[in-house]
Amino acid sequence: YIIVDCGSADHPMNTKIRDWEPVEAKACDEYMKKRYGKGLNELYPWPEAYQAMHLMLFPQPWEIIHVECAGGEVDKVLNKRLIIGTFPWKFQYGESAFCRVVAFDEED
């Protein structure tokens, strides 16, 4: 179960941003080669590993539950053990939904 406050748990250069921002992708590729000795395509083969989180971890057999674009008062619950409730909008045959995420803090 993961919750992130961004549009994808994937690295930004392993999403459509890579196509939409070719100048940034080139800069990222150069940085990765300099820093890690491997380029963008070596670390995130394109398109084979495109959105690896969505296409490799979230489907069966793992079926990792995830929430993206979480917002609100996240800063109030950082670095705490909590019980998390995720309450999705109910609709039939959907694969994703809007939801409300609630943190229950038993220490309070």
User: How does pLDDT run across 14-28, given as a tens digit for each residue?
Assistant: 999 999 999 999 999
Q: What is the pLDDT of residue 31?
A: 97
Read off the pLDDT of residues 36-92 as tens digits, 9 standing for 90 and up. 999 999 999 988 888 888 888 888 888 888 899 888 888 888 888 999 999 988 878
Q: What is the pLDDT of residue 55?
A: 84
Q: What is the pLDDT of residue 108?
A: 58
Residue of 48, 28, 50, 51 lying closest to 40 (CA atoms): 28
- Mean pLDDT (whole number) for 33-37: 97
C-alpha–C-alpha distance, residues 42 and 38, integer Å: 6
Q: Contact at 8 Å (CB) between 50 and 39?
A: no
Task: Give me the residue spans of the domains in the chain.
Answer: 2-104
Q: What is the pLDDT of residue 47?
A: 87
C-alpha–C-alpha distance, residues 35 and 42, integer Å: 13
On the question of pLDDT at 96 being above 80, the answer is: no
pTM: 0.69
On the question of pLDDT at 95 being above 80, the answer is: no
